[in-house]
Amino acid sequence: MWNPISLHTARNPKLAALLAACMVTTATPLLAAGASHDANEVTGHSSAEHAGSRRKADDLSRAFRGAAKDLAPSVVTINTISKTGSKPGSNAQGGPGAPMLPPGFRMPAPQQRGPARGTGTGVVISRDGYIVTANHVVADADEIELVFRDGRTAKATVAGLDPGTDIAVLRTEASGLEPAAFGSSDELEIGEWVVAIGAPFGLEQTVTAGIVSAKGRSDVGLATFESYIQTDAAINPGNSGGPLANLDGEIIGINSAISSRGGGNDGIGFAVPSKVVQRVVDSLIANGRVARGFLGIGVQPADGEMLAGLGAEEEKGVLVNRVEHGSPAERAGLEPGDVITAIAGRAVRTPGELVATIGEIAPGSEIDVRAIRDGRERKLQAVLAEREDDHARRGSRSARSPRRTPRPRESRRKTARSWSSASPKAAPPRAQASRRAM
């Protein structure tokens, strides 16, 4: 197409240069304006994104504050005194005033006679004076003092102990109590935010936060009946017996123990689920003890190869290695060598799960038992008897040896520890526990 401008500029180089300069001069502001507009768009988008993130962070912060504010009035520090026993000296291992020794040498710990003191946490659950805590916090106590958030103190007595779950109930005559509400541990989801309140190292009303790391942890080796909530919320000595709560400020667990290689918080804590706590508390308040079902078998873990050899296609279940004579299990038709895959409608993968499931069912209940024998599934019915051991007696004290302050005890798993004054005998070896009648 004919273009007069192109024709003239082709014949006149000076004119071409002048037109080019005009075009550059005209385009530069336009380009600058466009770049500025793009930059404003980026800056605006970044600011909006930051504001959105900040709002989310503020919302989460408000949720933590709300949960702590709702729960704190119900949390108490528990100070205990045991008048019997001995306690280790404070200077035995290099404390203030200890003698200077060559590296690698230690002085024997001098035994100091006198009251043994400990600190833990509890939470008020009724206006008429009931408080739930961990069994190992108060089991050896001769005197129990409660310290409330407002600084008030009051005496408490033991209403009931349940070593099998590490739960205890106290009673106080104090007035003006603000009870906390229980939430549903069944509805709790892995990854959900939780808060813990307690007195770690005696620091009252300390709030820590984390998430639910796992549910239904059994075979940890800390108690007879285990179905723990695992959390990474910081739990330390003095937190035992305190609440683990959801962001609504509801109790979804009672802190019991941690797993630690060095004795401090390693981000693995265990809490007794609120479903278990509520059942135990109701039984202790009503009867002073907890009645549990008894089947009368001994079981052991079974790996995939063993299960496959016994004909269990799904490779899950526990192996029956003993059936007590005259027990509900014998009457139901269970035999050594059977693989139990489900009980009372719940799948069974470990001995701990089986123990916990039977322990939650009341004596006299009829339950379904699914077992594999000779490669065939059998459906049996058993009527549970009552378990005779692990009874919690109202106002009773355990035979555990007291110490000056709560210290961790080793469990069947060497890395799992409970902030307890218990002797190691309280936790039987895994091999014994796997064959114990249940």
Q: pLDDT tens, position by position, for the chain (438 residues)?
A: 445 444 444 455 554 554 454 454 544 554 455 555 555 555 666 677 777 778 888 888 899 999 999 999 999 999 999 987 534 333 333 333 333 333 344 445 545 567 889 999 999 999 999 999 999 999 999 999 999 999 999 999 999 999 999 999 999 999 999 999 999 999 999 999 999 999 998 899 999 999 999 999 888 888 888 889 999 999 988 999 999 999 999 999 999 988 877 767 788 999 999 999 999 999 999 998 999 999 999 999 887 777 777 766 666 889 999 999 999 999 999 999 999 999 999 999 889 999 999 988 999 999 999 999 888 889 999 999 998 855 433 333 332 322 333 333 333 343 343 433 222 233 333 333 344 457
Q: pTM for this structure?
A: 0.71
By residue range, what is the domain housing residue 316? Answer: 293-386
User: Which stretches of 290-436 are DSSP H helices?
Assistant: 304-309, 328-332, 351-359, 430-434
Q: Angle at Cα 396 formed by Cα 354 and Cα 281, nearest 5°?
A: 50
In a domain, 257, yes or no: no
Q: Is 240 a catalytic site residue?
A: yes
Three-state DSSP state, 427: coil
pLDDT score at 99: 37
129 part of a folded domain: no
Q: Are 128 and 119 in contact (CB under 8 A)?
A: no
Task: Look at residue 36 in the predicted model and tell me its pLDDT.
Answer: 57
Is 420 a catalytic site residue?
no
Angle, CA 273 vertex, CA 201 and CA 150 arms, to 5°: 45
* CATH at residue 306: 2.30.42.10
Count the neighbouring beta carbons within 10 Å of the beta carbon of residue 162: 27
Six token digits for residue 180: 């906390």
Residue 345 in any domain: the answer is: yes
Cβ neighbours of residue 60 closer than 8 Å, sequence gap 6 or more: 193
Q: Which two tokens stand for residue 395?
A: 């106002």
Residue 351 placed within a domain: yes
Residue 166 appears among annotated catalytic residues: yes
For residue 274, the Cα-to-chain-centroid distance in whole angstroms is 11
pLDDT of residue 72: 93
Distance CA 412, CA 359 (A): 20
User: Considering the domain boundaries, does residue 177 fall inside one?
Assistant: no
329 domain residue, yes or no: yes
Catalytic-role residue among 213, 240, 398, 434 = 240
Catalytic pick from 74, 82, 162, 166?
Answer: 166
> Residue 85: its pLDDT value, please?
52
H helices then E strands: how many in the chain? 8, 24
Q: Tell me the residue length of the chain.
A: 438
Q: Which of 74, 82, 136, 274 is catalytic?
A: 136
Query: How many domains does the chain fold into?
Result: 1
- What DSSP state is assigned to residue 337? T
Q: In this structure, what DSSP letter does residue 395 have?
A: T
Residue 64 within any structural domain of the chain = no
Task: At 353, list the tokens.
Answer: 């799960």
Q: Is residue 311 part of a domain?
A: yes
Backbone angles phi, psi at 39, to 5 degrees: -65, -40
Given this model, what pLDDT does residue 271 score? 96
